[in-house]
Amino acid sequence: MSVDPLLHLAVALDGAGWHPAAWRAPDARPRELFRARYWADLVAEAEAGLLDFVTIEDSFGVQSSAFNEVDDRIDQVRGRLDAVLIAARVAPVTERIGIVPTAVSTHTEPFHVSKAIASLDYAATGRAGLRVQLSARQYEFALFGRRTQQPISFEDINTPEVQARMAEHFTEAADYVEVVRRLWDSWEDDAEIRDAATGRFVDRAKLHHIDFEGEWFDVRGPSITPRPPQGQPVVTALGHDTIPYRLIARAADVGFITPHDREQARAIVEEIRAEQESACRTAETLHVFGDVVVFLDDTAQAAQERRAWLDELAGQEYASDAYIFAGTASELADLLADWRHAGLSGYRLRPAALPHDLEQITRRLVPELQARGLFRTAYEATTLRGHLGLPRPVNRYAADSALAAV
């Protein structure tokens, strides 16, 4: 009898939680949002729940309730710490959980991000990842002044002009990831000799120029950081439609999607698999996770009442790109077990309020899934790639060098 693989679980950490009024909840810690201890506590809680990894949200523009402009609200959390620096701070005080900060590819250089994530992988001893995020907001472009962006409205999102612009942005992001990955490989695993007796620290023949030339990037390399412990830290991306699904299929190890029922999840997974085949990546493992915003309590009524109370504080009903679940851990386990048959290998849960919903995930949902034989009862691997069943990839330049020597 075949046994279904265990589910993978991640949580997405953002400020006081994904609901804009979460910072006003009784157990929230709004005075600590910009302190290291707050983030270390959240990640430690996720690790206690044996989760695969956490993602940490980031952006260059201040948070806003409007899509393409900065609002003037003072009743919601505004401001955030740098996600990569948060990850670097929590890495040494955790042992097993993967740590995946967000980097906005539109306004950063792949060389800088490659060495930052490689350094994080060293700090986390093989548990780092990267969430690639694009920026299409005009006010974020204005922060840098190097490029311009015409305003995009939801009403125009499906017009040919806007779709062409979005396709260009996502093609650029795919090239960005390719540069990052090549830089991670630009040092062979045994490039460092460190022989004090002979005075040889590095073997220059095992450092490689990547010589990437494209429309947006022209990068010679090599990196200044040796190849990360995982070889290739895990790359993740969020997608909502065909164009970002192509980025996931071409460049990511884990894709996050936002279905609202099982059949929609099935259709999205099938589309990504077709794009994966077109990208000639069918031999590689590509996980597809469903994103779900969660309000969890001991009863469904309590969860729904808490959501309504937070909505009242916010002055409007909470809406999300992802499916919103309000109920018990057992009911959520039912949903996760059901949707997995659409081809999802895991889920990224977005706690509506922190720490409440994170603790409900780790202390209620995880035991429920374990009792059903759907989730691990202990960490078996020591790296993020290991948690996800991803092999450590061969260095592409070492393989080329070996062929050249034959």
DSSP 323-362: EEEEE-HHHHHHHHHHHGGGT--EEEEEESSTTHHHHHII
Q: pTM of the prediction?
A: 0.94
pLDDT computed for residue 402 by the predictor: 56
Which helix (H) or strand (E) segment is 236 a member of?
Answer: strand 234-238
Amino acid at 214: G
Segment 55-84, tens digit of pLDDT: 999 998 888 887 777 888 899 999 999 999
Amino acid at 364: R
pLDDT computed for residue 158 by the predictor: 74
Query: Residues of the chain with pLDDT > 90: what percent?
Result: 83
Interval 332-339 mean pLDDT: 98
Of the pLDDT bands very low, low, confident and very high (cuts 50, 70, 90), residue 406 is: very low
Q: What is the chain's alpha carbon radius of gyration, rounded to the nearest angstrom? A: 21
Average per-residue pLDDT in the chain?
A: 93
Interval 105-117 mean pLDDT: 94
Q: Reply yes or no on whether the pLDDT at 22 is more than 60.
A: yes
Nearest residue to 75 (alpha-carbon basis) of 67, 85, 65, 87? 65
Segment 168-218, tens digit of pLDDT: 889 999 999 999 999 999 999 999 999 899 999 999 999 999 999 999 999
Q: Reply yes or no on whether the pLDDT at 400 is more than 90.
A: no
CA distances from 42 to 48, 205, 206, 351 (A): 10, 43, 40, 11
Interval 38-67 mean pLDDT: 93
Nearest residue to 100 (alpha-carbon basis) of 78, 132, 136? 132
Segment 343-387, tens digit of pLDDT: 999 999 999 999 999 999 999 999 999 999 999 999 999 999 999
pLDDT computed for residue 71 by the predictor: 85
Instruction: For residue 304, give both structure tokens.
Output: 């729904």
Q: Reply yes or no on whether the pLDDT at 146 is more than 80.
A: no
- Return the exposure string of 62-78: e unless at least 16 CB atoms fall within 10 Å of the residue's CB, then b: ebbeeebeeeeeeebbe
Amino acid at 297: D
Measured CA to CA, the distance from residue 87 to residue 122 in angstroms comes to 12
Q: Within 10 A of 308 (CB to CB), how many other CB atoms are there?
A: 14
Interval 231-238 mean pLDDT: 98
Interval 233-262 mean pLDDT: 97
Peptide bond preceding 355: is omega within 30 degrees of 0, i.e. cis?
A: yes
Measured CA to CA, the distance from residue 76 to residue 29 in angstroms comes to 14
Domains of the chain (ranges, CATH numbers): 8-405 (3.20.20.30)
pLDDT computed for residue 232 by the predictor: 98
Q: Reply yes or no on whether the pLDDT at 104 is more than 90.
A: yes
pLDDT computed for residue 3 by the predictor: 66
